[in-house]
A = this chain, B = another copy of it.
C-alpha cells in the first residue's frame, strides 16, 4: 500500500503530508457534477470502477490513491431493468444503507447533493454478516438541467473505507 501510494503521489508531486481530503461540497461541485456532465471526465484522485464487481477489500488496489479511504466513480446498477431500485450486491455480499441520507449544502442554503452511508454485509440479505467496511455515496440533488438529459444522467458514487475494528485505530484525519 505504501509503495502504491508513493507512486501515485509522485505523479502529482505532492509534498509529504498532503492528501486528497475533499469536503462534501467539493465532492459534489468539483467531482460529481463534472462527471455527470461528461462521463469522460478524469481526475487524479478518483478511479472509475464498477462497484458491483468488486468486494470492498479488493477496492484499495483499484484506487488511484488513498491509505484509509479510497474514492471511486461508479454508475448505479438497476436491481431490475424496469425498476429504480439500485443493485448494490457484489459476488459475496451487499452494501446496505444505514441512517438517514445527509443533505449537502452550498452555503448558506442551496441544497446541492446528498450523501448516503452504507455498510457492507457478507452473505445475502436479510441474513448477511455485518463487516467494518463503510461506503459514502454522493449523488446530486435532483436538478432538471443535469438529469433531464439521459446522456448526462450518470450517477456517481464515492466509496470510503472505515478502518476495521480489529485491524487498527482510525487515523485522526478520518472523516
Interface residues of A (CB under 8 A from B): 12-24, 26-27, 30-31, 43-45, 171-173, 175
List 8 A-B pairs, Cβ < 8 Å. A13-B13, A14-B18, A16-B26, A17-B23, A17-B31, A19-B21, A173-B173, A173-B175
A171: chain B residues at CB < 8 Å are 23
A44: chain B residues at CB < 8 Å are 15
Of A17, A23, A27, A175, most buried by chain B (CB within 10 Å of CB) is A17
Number of copies of this chain in the oligomer? 2
Taking a contact as CB atoms under 8 Å apart, the answer to whether A20 and B17 are in contact is yes
Q: Which residue of B lies closest to A67 (CB)?
A: B23
- Which of B17, B20, B24, B27 sits near A26, CB closer than 8 Å? B17
Taking a contact as CB atoms under 8 Å apart, the answer to whether A15 and B172 are in contact is no
User: Which A-B residue pairs are the 10 nearest by beta carbons?
Assistant: A17-B22, A172-B175, A16-B30, A19-B21, A17-B26, A21-B173, A21-B21, A173-B175, A15-B44, A18-B20
Q: Which residue of B lies closest to A115 (CB)?
A: B172
Distance between Cα atoms of A19 and B18 in the complex (Å):
5
A18: chain B residues at CB < 8 Å are 12, 14, 18-21, 45
